Amino acid sequence: MHVVVIGSGMIGSSIAYECAKAGAKVTVFDAGNIGGKASATSFSWTNATSKNPRSYFALNVAGMRAHIELRRDFGGSPWLWQTGSLEWRTTQEGQEWQRGNFQQMSDWGYGVEWLDPRKLAEMEPDLDIGEIGAYPIAYYPEEGWVDPMIYSAWLLREAGRRHDATIRSHTPITRVETKGSRVEAVHTAGGERIKADYVINCTGSQADADLGVEKVPLAPTVGILAFTPPVATTLRSQLHADDLNVRPDGAGRLMIQKASIEKRFDEAKSLEADGPEAQELLDVTRKIMPVLEGVRIEAVRTTYRPMPKDGFPCVGAMPDLANYYVAVTHSGVTLAPYLGKALADEIVVDRRHKALDPFAPDRFFAEPSSHGASAELLGQQPVEG
């Protein structure tokens, strides 16, 4: 069985690795460098908090669990930082939301606890307790983040080394060839035709490009991340304060993201490291981390979030083309190892994971009322990371 994976971000890497491990012959193509686009510019928080409905929450918990299970294959996971998250809200409305979410997460068995300000000061001495100590602090010990490029590098290298997968960078796929209701081959920009038993489109925010087959409707949103230079800080946890997200990014660097700044843009254009958005991100973070006094933003990166039109993952066989799959999703960092395993089980082992049913692509191509499996998603608003 020859499985062709288009795209080598976290999703493509995971699917390629698991399919190769399950016994398929795998070839991965990427138009650019190995490692992906969104994956290379992601806040990459592994979490399931506030994710609704229950099926989407459960999928993200499965993703978090799969990250832990992957350690067995590699004798560790040098890409995963499971150091917990801290969350607080500064408005009354936000705190009401937080209480409700805390209760729901506890009821659903998700790890969350309230943290005393003194404990917080002990845990994270670089936070200004005077600034945040009056707000209720929720702590999520099982959450963490991933270094996506390192993840993809390991999975693709081992897919090749242990399981004979072929990885081809700088080789765009321009067409998926079909015959009747089946995919026969893919065509590269260089004119090659490669026969395939299964093709899996993992092209993220480019999944609506024309490859000559049905496309997933997307509504990508702009993501903006600012990075400090190395700072002498001992911060270990992630911080989620209102719509501000801050986390360590290795070697003392901090990564900063704020949803309300991203919402000002409908195009992922380049932003200057000394521009007003970077300054704003630094100012709001410095308020809670005085250690940033005198520090400047070193880089700002922008990209698109791969977002199916209704905001939920779109994973599975496309209708009318039984051997053409798509795997496009936001929260892809959290979900990647689970989606890899689930699609390998379905394609190579012929074992379908029911957890994927609500997220099948056919919800975009059928009347909602005739597609009961994803009825649960209707009217729901997934949370963006």
Ligand X SMILES: Cc1cc2nc3c(=O)[nH]c(=O)nc-3n(C[C@H](O)[C@H](O)[C@H](O)COP(=O)(O)OP(=O)(O)OC[C@H]3O[C@@H](n4cnc5c(N)ncnc54)[C@H](O)[C@@H]3O)c2cc1C
What is the footprint of ligand X within residues 57-86 (CB under 6 A)? none
Query: From CA 161, how far away is CA 73, in angstroms rounded?
Result: 13
382 interacts with ligand X by CB under 6 A: no
385 interacts with ligand X by CB under 6 A: yes
**DSSP bridge pairs for 241:** 88, 244
Query: From CA 326, how far away is CA 216, in angstroms rounded?
Result: 8
Least Å from the CB of residue 224 to ligand X: 7
In the set 5, 21, 37, 64, which binds ligand X (CB under 6 A)? 37
In the complex with ligand X, which residue's Cβ is closer, 302 or 380?
302
In the set 94, 111, 160, 172, which binds ligand X (CB under 6 A)? 172
Tell me the H-state helices in the chain: 10-21, 54-74, 92-107, 117-123, 129-132, 148-163, 259-262, 276-288, 332-344
Least Å from the CB of residue 293 to ligand X: 26
HSE at residue 128, side-chain half, CA atoms within 13 A, is: 13
Query: From CA 33, how far away is CA 169, in angstroms rounded?
Result: 6
In the complex with ligand X, which residue's Cβ is closer, 44 or 285?
44
Region of 36-44, 227-235, 283-291, 369-377 interacting with ligand X (CB under 6 A): 36-44
Answer yes or no: are the C-beta atoms of 227 and 297 closer than 8 Å: yes
Least Å from the CB of residue 370 to ligand X: 28
Degrees (nearest 5) of the Cα angle 319, 335, 338? 80
In the complex with ligand X, which residue's Cβ is closer, 204 or 361?
204
In the set 31, 48, 138, 318, which binds ligand X (CB under 6 A)? 31
339 interacts with ligand X by CB under 6 A: no
What is the footprint of ligand X within residues 178-217 (CB under 6 A)? 202-206, 209
- DSSP E strands, the chain: 2-6, 25-29, 45-46, 80-81, 85-88, 113-115, 137-140, 144-146, 166-168, 173-179, 182-188, 193-195, 198-201, 221-227, 238-241, 244-248, 254-258, 299-305, 314-318, 321-328
Region of 9-17, 131-139, 271-279, 342-350 interacting with ligand X (CB under 6 A): 9-17
Closest CA to 35 of 204, 148, 164, 203: 148
Least Å from the CB of residue 345 to ligand X: 19
What is the footprint of ligand X within residues 311-330 (CB under 6 A)? 329-330
The three-state secondary structure class of 56 is: helix
220 interacts with ligand X by CB under 6 A: no
Query: From CA 330, how far away is CA 312, in angstroms rounded?
Result: 7
27 interacts with ligand X by CB under 6 A: no
Q: How far is CA 132 from the centre of its chain?
A: 28
11 interacts with ligand X by CB under 6 A: yes
223 interacts with ligand X by CB under 6 A: yes
Least Å from the CB of residue 219 to ligand X: 14
36 interacts with ligand X by CB under 6 A: yes
Region of 33-41, 155-163, 291-299, 353-361 interacting with ligand X (CB under 6 A): 33-41
Residue type, 2: H
HSE at residue 123, side-chain half, CA atoms within 13 A, is: 18
Q: Which residues bind ligand X (CB under 6 A)?
A: 6-12, 29-32, 36-39, 41-45, 148, 172-173, 202-206, 209, 223, 225, 303, 305-306, 329-334, 385
